[in-house]
Structure 1
């Protein structure tokens, strides 16, 4: 009887997967058709307005009258505000600014994207939303945490342009590193007192959010990973693996100012993993130290000039203000 139940469960799972896949396909098809229709409605409104002699007055009357008739016919969804959004959608995306000829995100995504004035930044978030299947909530979070700005800070002008054309392309370890990392999902107030173990526990509790902040390709491997040699024992705070880079990523958490001893310790961890853990077909291990503050000079002179494995990034437990982001950009320039 148990064997029969297991067979039925297995068969049921196959049917369930098929139905879920079909449901998702139908949803995507309906969503794509709806967004495309809204774009075409926006185009018709713009074309009609341009034929009017008194554009402003005619345009407002047109939208209000159209809203009433469409609402009477189709119900909700065609308020004057929504029709204006469709008009804005067409004006925004009629200038060759779409990622492709097909709208692949939801209408809610595009409502958010339209509010991003910078064309390059908007294209970046559109590409990343598609590539990573971000929900509208995840898109909002990445925008609020200034992902594009943080990535731009560590890139030259040509690389920033590439972000808007291809999104984030991870080809080398540095591509996967942000500075700062934004950990507002932990719920720590800006000046709260906590220990490194508190920070670690919170990151584990909010692992899904942390993986989103880390970015594409990261999978969790271990916490407090013990390594031993010469009767000495050490514990690496967090171990991840990046499937794109084919590398282990070791993370150490530091409260306060980063010290040169912290960098040396991470170098030891990385060397151990490279020599004792990684396989022949895997790339060299990456070490990332997350700290509250750091001296760029300490990092620069502790690490070798050709360093491509060890990184130190600051983290913030609150979303950065616009003033703070402006300051970061000005300091870069």
Structure 2
């Protein structure tokens, strides 16, 4: 690379960084401004007026005046969004006070009725730099409800205050995993190798679904002993827990042989791959169906192996909400 080329690249980098900072500052200022507009609309409505048609036409009149002077962006619908934005976040003491997300993020979040759920998605969006599209996808896949299914009542507030905290292997696990991005219909016939290939083709989507701290290591990882070859479908590494995570794909119902196979894979990695300063390997078997009693009887109590179902279509959030309510009633 010539000196002049390197020089030009440095200048372009400076300009792009400055542009990004300007955009971020403008976004934060506009978001705060829309919040304040929403606040003033609510205050004006609460103040009331003797004329009955005043409140009825408040947003319409405001829209007309603002549009005349400032142009597009101040329709009645947009003003209602600003009002909803303020109402949803007026009493909050979370990251929202700094407005670290885009205004579009906050409009989406303001439509989530459950305050704990809204807080969770806000925190996760900031921590993981989710785009609006990624936020929508996580919401549509019922991430909040799926995480709650593995937690007790005392841990619900933790999700709202801190988001997903990964401190032990079980914190990583979801059940089920939602793999709608692979484009396979629930009723279609496909092989384990086809599912694996679809996951590799959509590796960024799969990493998003797996959650925090995952990096891809290998597919069909081969190891050999006694002249016999074995292959692990997918190998990842989790930076937060500092351990390997092995994933085996099963298109049918989980069998006890599958658990035994995964135990062998995990033992191999613990004895031959991991270093002394790394934590024990985690094994996850993704299957279409499973028997929890079979799993409990087959695996040791302190096992680092987990089995979770997967779905290839987006679930209905209401189904997870009902399942969550039933689970909490049992506890």
- The TM-score range, normalised by the shorter chain, is over 0.9
- 1:197 maps to what in 2? 193
Change (3 A) 1:226 1:10: farther
Q: Counterparts of 1:197 and 1:34 in 2: how far apart (Å)?
A: 48
1:179 and 2:175 matched: yes
Kept in 2: contact 1:97–1:123 (CA 8 A): no
Shift in Å, 1:55: 8.7
- Structure 2: 5+ residue stretches without partners: none
Change (3 A) 1:55 1:310: farther
From 307, 324, 328, the equivalent of 1:329 is: 324
Which structure 2 residues correspond to residues 1-333 of structure 1 after superposition, within 5 A? 4=2, 7-53=3-49, 57-96=53-92, 98-307=94-303, 309-333=304-328
Report Cα offsets for 1:271-311 as digits up to 9, x if no partner: 1111111112211111110000000011111111122x111
Q: Counterparts of 2:267 and 2:50 in 1: how far apart (Å)?
A: 73
Say which SS state the counterpart of residue 158 (structure 2) adopts: helix
Number of aligned residue pairs: give it: 328
TM-score, normalised with respect to structure 1:
0.94
TM-score, normalised with respect to structure 2:
0.95
Say which SS state the counterpart of residue 240 (structure 2) adopts: coil
Shift in Å, 1:31: 0.5
Change (3 A) 1:25 1:254: same
Q: State the Cα RMSD in Å.
A: 1.6
Moved over 6 A (4+): none
- Structure 1: 5+ residue stretches without partners: none
Report Cα offsets for 1:101-127 as digits up to 9, x if no partner: 211111110111011000000000000
Kept in 1: contact 2:81–2:107 (CA 8 A): yes
